[in-house]
Structure formats: structure tokens, C-alpha cells
Amino acid sequence: MYVRYKGGGEYVCNHLRTQEGQPTCQHIRANRIDEAVGEAFLTALAPAELDALSHSRRVQQQMNNALRSSAERELERKRYTAALAERQFNRA
């Protein structure tokens, strides 16, 4: 089959016509086929999209946890430094 774009597009089987001079075997309007193929493609793609989204969210959560942990450690270091400076000041 090949695509004939003239007249709105259709899929045409004309192998026997070109090889043996017989009438065109069949032809189907392209919009029906294209819609069905597009829908089947998106249906097949849906599970992969969900897996990718799930993986992306897990990675994002891990990054958020690592950033939060890092910020908490930095805050603890700052508190320790401030307390040390306060003790040194009070001694002087």
C-alpha cells in the first residue's frame, strides 16, 4: 500500500494494477486509519508514560530529601558555631 495525498489522503493497494494491469485492489481513506493508529500508539505509550512519571517523582523526592538533609546539617553547623562564639565571648 502507498499513500495517495491527492483528494484528502488515502491508502491504496495497486500492486496488481502496476504489475499485471488489473484494477486497483483496495483503497481506504487515510483519516480513519490514521486515527486508529494514533489511538493505538497513545494507548501503548500510556504505561511507559506512567513509569517515566513515577521514576521522575522518585528521583525528585530523593533530591528533595538530600537537599533538606544538607540544609539541616548546615543549620546545625551554624548553631554550633554560634554557640561556640557565644561561649568564647562570655569567657572573655
Q: What is the per-residue pLDDT across 16-56, written as a single tens digit (0 to 9) for each?
A: 666 777 777 777 888 888 899 999 998 888 888 888 989 99
DSSP per-residue codes, 35-82: HHHHHHHHHHHHHHHHHHHHHHHHHHHHHHHHHHHHHHHHHHHHHHHH
> Which pTM does this prediction carry?
0.48
**20: three-class secondary structure by DSSP:** helix
Number of domains forming the structure of the chain: 1
* 80 or 28, higher pLDDT: 80
**Domain interval for residue 41:** 2-91
